[in-house]
Amino acid sequence: MRTLQRVPTTSPITGQIVAAFGRSFLVKTVSGAALSCVMRGKKGGVACGDVVEVQPTESGQGVIENIMPRSALLYRSDAFREKLIAANITQVIIVVAAVPSFSEELINRCIAAAENQRIKVLIVLNKADLIQPTSTASNILSLYRELGYSLLQLSAKTDIEPLLPHLYDHLSVLVGQSGMGKSTLINALIPAAERATSGISVALDTGRHTTTHARLYHLDDNSRIIDSPGMQEFGLHHIDRDALAWGFVEFRQYMGRCRFNNCRHANEPGCALAQAVQEGRISARRFAFYQKLAK
Ligand code: GDP
Ligand code: ZN
């Protein structure tokens, strides 16, 4: 005998995660509606930017049934868990400022994570109106420009125009320590209307999480940006030693050229990286960051 199935009352809807807070998510469906959702069971994490299939519930909410394959996933991790930052992004924008001082180590960590996901990196030096400290910071950051990363200097308070062409056709994610001016940048970028109508606190029926969530905003038909919570740490537990070295772009040409093929680039004789540092072909600062992270 055949098995007959009842016509489903509602079929799954495809959408994109536009806000993520712990266990609640806001999904923007293909029809443009915003649906408050939870994850089915204990399936793995889901991040802002993820494309998902949602089963609507009778109460007008939804259950995330499926996460579609990702083109990229930016996340950090420590020994115990992973923290997803954003999915399907094509560009990571690292926001720094001279005041309060930024962590160059954090920049190196973000870059290594981005490189390992083949995501483009842009560094924005904000608060350029603070001329003297900005010039010092700019000297430090020139190293990254020499490595091939775009470095943009601007003042989110006065003019974000220089940033706009860099956002075109990308799904970007803004990352950085708190205090660097990410909120100021987002406020300048996103018309108040979209911030209001995305109605997170309304849709999720609570305003409690407003400081710890990630949000996705549409800039135009092809350009979107995700604002992520400020971070002080960027754990790279998920990246092994070789992948970490690969995340330092200028190291790549020396890979496999050390005397020992299991060289840890710590203090071994015949280390091609150490020699490149001595000959001034790799910056001693970058090598020191690598060695610190590799530990
Ligand atoms: P967030 O923690 O990264 O979101 O940083 P905020 O956007 O809250 O900014 C932190 C502080 O820096 C606030 O007092 C801002 O007014 C200030 N700030 C942001 N952008 C600029 C800027 O371009 N120039 C100056 N001088 N201050 C800025
Ligand atoms: Zn080596």
Segments making up each domain of the chain, as ranges: 13-67, 73-227, 250-294
Read off the pTM. Answer: 0.92
- Fold type of domain 73-227: Rossmann fold (3.40.50)
**Sign of the dihedral defined by the CA atoms of residues 44, 47, 50, 56, in that order:** positive
Has residue 79 got a pLDDT over 60? yes
- Position 197 scores a pLDDT of 55
Beta strands per DSSP E along 138-278: 150-153, 171-175, 214-218, 224-227
Ligand 1 neighbourhood includes 183 CB (under 6 angstroms)? yes
Ligand 1 neighbourhood includes 130 CB (under 6 angstroms)? yes
State which H helix or E strand residue 144 sits in.
Answer: helix 131-146
- Fold type of domain 250-294: Ribonucleotide Reductase Protein R1; domain 1 (1.10.40)
Measure 44 CA to ligand 1 centroid, in angstroms.
35
- Position 7 scores a pLDDT of 63
Dist CA 65 CA 283 (whole Å): 47
Has residue 36 got a pLDDT over 60? yes
What CATH number belongs to 13-67? 2.40.50.140
Percent share of the chain, pLDDT over 70:
90
Residues of 220-245 as b/e, b for ≥16 C-beta within 10 angstroms? eeebbbbbbbbbeebbbeebebeebb
CA angle 126, 169, 212 (to 5 degrees): 50
Ligand 1 neighbourhood includes 156 CB (under 6 angstroms)? yes
Average pLDDT along the chain: 90
Q: Lowest mean pLDDT of 50-54, 183-187, 198-202, 255-259, name the range.
A: 198-202
Has residue 167 got a pLDDT over 90? yes
Highest mean pLDDT among 25-34, 79-88, 128-137, 193-202: 128-137
**Sign of the dihedral defined by the CA atoms of residues 165, 148, 127, 88, in that order:** positive
Ligand 1 neighbourhood includes 274 CB (under 6 angstroms)? no
